[in-house]
Amino acid sequence: MREKTNRFSAVLKPIKKLLFQALKGKVCPVIKGPLLGFCFEVNEATGLAGLISGGSSSERDTQRQIQKHCRNGSLAVDCGANWGLHTLLLSRLVGPSGKVISVEANPSICKILKKNINVNKILNVEISEKALSDRIGSIRFNQGVGATTGRIAKENEQGDMVQVPATTVDEVLRNQRADVSFVKMDIEGAESKALEGANKTLSVSRPVFIIELHSPENDLRVGQIMIEHKYQLFRLNGEQILRPDRSWPDPEGVYGTIVCIPKEKNAASHN
């Protein structure tokens, strides 16, 4: 069975390459999935996955959780918005009376994000072209070699570097009229720093978070912050994380993509 799958993938690969070359630079409609009805520009950042609302099973699982926790009329934040895959879905879910703040630090990717927002004539999305950290200022950013590899640079790191403005989650939300109810976060290893800059958000607004994690050390700190703020942690399949004080390789620890729900909200949903 695996051999047949590998042969099929080998045949499909050149077909996908030809299709991508034919569509590159064109605005195409999404033909399947929760983003059906939207369109996007096919380019190196998006690939072809946008045609079916994202290509991986984890993206579909994340979308299901977004649909479960994001409500019409609410305020949502997409931290690490990339070209807008989840921003588009959030925009649809919060509706005209809601709002999405889409945060993306990579200048080249942010241009694509803006284009996809504009081509869909979306009016309820505000874009913040900044990196999220634990303080406000300026920070070195490695643009990476692809759309999903841009990140805040480590000390002495080499690569395609740019200087970008940095902010905190609390600052992004400071002048908003409504409390944030949902946050998606995928910022390539800077999640713990971003959460350290979200103390008021975690303590007062208490939104649901979906966080994609990237390293055991960072994962452990994310778990600690959520424990301190009385959140319960779950996997995308709904399974509760039993040891939020541990990270990979403990199978009961914090790793992968997690859903963080305030204890009081989780308890209320079961009453």
- Tracing tokens 């994001």 back to the chain, one arrives at 70
Which pLDDT value is given to residue 8?
A: 53
220-233 per-position pLDDT tens digit: 999 999 999 999 99
- Tracing tokens 């399947």 back to the chain, one arrives at 32
Residue type at position 167: T
Mean pLDDT, residues 154-168 taken together: 85
35-51 per-position pLDDT tens digit: 999 999 999 989 999 99
Q: State the distance between the two ends of the chain, measured CA to CA, in whole angstroms.
A: 45
- Ranked by mean pLDDT, the top range of 41-45, 187-191, 207-211 is 207-211
Region of 109 on the Ramachandran plot (φ > 0 left; ψ -120 to 50 alpha; else beta): alpha
Pairing of strands 208-212, 180-185: parallel
Which pLDDT value is given to residue 57?
A: 85
76-99 per-position pLDDT tens digit: 999 999 999 999 999 999 999 999
Mean pLDDT, residues 5-11 taken together: 62
**pLDDT of residue 271 exceeding 60:** no
**pLDDT of residue 270 exceeding 90:** no
